[in-house]
Amino acid sequence: MNFFDLLDLLGTIAFATSGALVAINKKLDPFGVFMVAFVTALGGGTLRDVLIGKEPVGWMLETYYVFTIIATTIVTIVIRNHIKYLSKSLFLFDTIGLGIFTITGTQIGVESNFNPIISIALGIITASFGGVIRDILCTQIPVIFRKEIYATAAFIGSITFLILNKFDLPINMIYVITTSIVIVIRIIAVKFHLSLPTFYTKE
């Protein structure tokens, strides 16, 4: 397993934990918790693979992703009472997943020789749409559609990845730098209540 695969696995664990925490907070049964964890972890990557015509999608070939999500869900359920602040834990894991999957999605676009704009779009889709499905299933307005800095952080991280990729830097260093940038942007935005403007019509 190379560093890219390790990052992808860590992102899967982070998003599976995020999904499980939301489902637990919504008081779903164990099967519901697993399903929400599953779609949170793999929804974005599945949509990406469908869009680029990859058949079958990645997790169907690499079944260790499924077993990882099962294990992550079980651990999250077991330690749920030991996590003091569920909302803070949810934010942390969701942010880590966002940072990692932004880069893995963008990298797949680069490896497929897509236009940079398409690679950026794939990074955002991979990072964001698992959370969109999670929030819809749990009857919440998806974070990406609110004014929070979420997809914007993924957008900046994806652009940074493409820029750094043009230089002769070790690829593992690029992964770490760009993932960290996404995570830091998200943390700063939440800590200082930074957000994008919203639009409305006057009555």
Q: How far apart are CA 23 and CA 91, in angstroms?
A: 14
pLDDT on residue 123: 97
Low-confidence ranges of the chain (pLDDT < 70): 83-87, 147, 200-203
pLDDT on residue 162: 97
pLDDT on residue 27: 93
Residue 57 lies in a domain: yes
Residue 99 lies in a domain: yes
Q: Which domain, by its residues, includes 45?
A: 3-191
pLDDT on residue 202: 66
pLDDT on residue 88: 77
Read off the pTM.
0.91
Residue 45, token pair as written in the block: 């990557």
Residue 196 lies in a domain: no
Indicate the SS3 state at residue 110: helix
Mean of per-residue pLDDT scores for the chain: 92
Residue 199 lies in a domain: no
Residue 68, token pair as written in the block: 């990882």
Q: How far apart are CA 30 and CA 41, in angstroms?
A: 16
Q: How far apart are CA 160 and CA 179, in angstroms?
A: 10
Count the domains in the chain: 1
pLDDT on residue 86: 64
CB atoms within 10 A of CB 147: 12
